[in-house]
Amino acid sequence: MSDKTLRLGICAGETSGDILGAAVLRALPQHGFDFQVDGIGGEQMIAAGLDTLYPIDRLAVMGLIEPLKRLPELLRIRRELVAQQRVAKPKCFVGVDSPDFNLGVEQRLRAAGIPTAHLVSPSVWAWRKGRIRRIQQAVDKMLCLLPFEVNIYEEAGIDAVCVGHPLVDELQLMPTRDALRHEFGLPLDQTLLAVLPGSREAEVRHLMPTFLATMLLLQQRHPGLHCVIPAADASRRAEIEALLGDHIEGVTVINGRGRDAMQASDAVLIASGTATLEAMLLRKPMVIAYRMAAVSWMVLSRMVTSTHVGLPNILAGREIVPELLQQAATPERLAEAVDRVLEVESEQQIQLFGELADQIGGNFAARSAEALLALTHA
């Protein structure tokens, strides 16, 4: 192994982490280093040079029951990964997201004297703040995607750096508004509202009836208003179309491509979630809403500690985008909020979104690679 070859360890537990990890691995040679990397990852990280110990799908578990059923296997994989890394003695080990698995690996490797980093901060600012104590024990450097997260870790005595968000780079490559309207057969000269009720069955079930009533109110007030609804998959499309029934005039349902639907639109009515960050980075004025089962809301509202739920508001530290949640998310109030956005607040939101996007910054892969190289003292 030459002096310009770095030995690294890395683990991603799901497809999104595989994409991020691969981008960072591809950026390392641009800094003048070759690397040898072991750990666990998917096809993209393997193509970027990873020798994976297990297929990534062995770590991809969802819900509450499946992880319990798979716990013996997951613990065995963790033991084997830790053993591999202790023998390999990498200059640095980085866990990509998947904190429930990766923090345990990082804690054990750090105790063995291997520097550790974690890429993608857990949402300690929103809920389960107690995790910060475990992170203190597990992580030498936290690589955050959003700038406000850095302060949380620095206050806890954890070295942290914002490496930018990959969406900032991705969204610069979007097609134009008119090109997308032409592709989807949407009117070029009418106001277009993108309506995103979420991707999960429960989200569509709880939100779409309210969103439909809101759309009807808005179309009564704005006869030329057209709505586009991206359905996450075939099941969600069937549910949305069943709810629409005969209310199809001035409405287009498309398969997936929520990002493109937002880019084609003038404003967005959107379920709270990561798509609100996409809308912000696309500079699309929006209204955020969310509804869930009453019992779930009662439990979650006691667990969540952040004042706001929409990422634009969390980033700004104040409400710059209307948020209407649970009982407040009525068709009348949502329609009034969309009206204000279309008629009054649009330019102000767009300006603030640009300022927040500049704070986050792009060049995610290069900045992440630089942070890891600094940790290895290379």
Instruction: Count CB-CB contacts under 10 A for residue 336.
Output: 18
Please state the pTM of the whole predicted model.
Answer: 0.84
Report the alpha-carbon distance of residue 228 to residue 244 in Å, rounded: 12
- Ranges of residues in the chain with a pLDDT under 50 are 1
Chain-centroid distance, C-alpha 105: 23
Whole-number pLDDT of residue 3: 59
Instruction: State the fold for domain 171-360.
Output: Rossmann fold (3.40.50)
Count CA within 13 A, CB hemisphere, residue 110: 20
Residue labelled with tokens 């989807």: 184
Report the alpha-carbon distance of residue 196 to residue 127 in Å, rounded: 24
Please report, in angstroms and rounded to a whole number, the separation of the first and last CA atoms in the chain. 14
Whole-number pLDDT of residue 303: 56
Whole-number pLDDT of residue 226: 97
Instruction: Give residue limits of the domains in the chain.
Output: 5-164+363-376, 171-360
Residue labelled with tokens 């930018």: 164
Backbone angles phi, psi at 230, to 5 degrees: -85, 125
Helix (H, G, I), strand (E, B) or coil at 219: helix
Instruction: State the fold for domain 5-164+363-376.
Output: Rossmann fold (3.40.50)
Q: Is the fold of 5-164+363-376 the same as that of 171-360?
A: yes
Report the alpha-carbon distance of residue 158 to residue 181 in Å, rounded: 46
Whole-number pLDDT of residue 183: 97
- Lookup: tokens for 300: 């979650």
Strand ranges of the sheet holding 160-162, from the earlier edge strand across to the other edge: 50-55, 34-41, 5-12, 92-96, 116-119, 141-144, 160-162
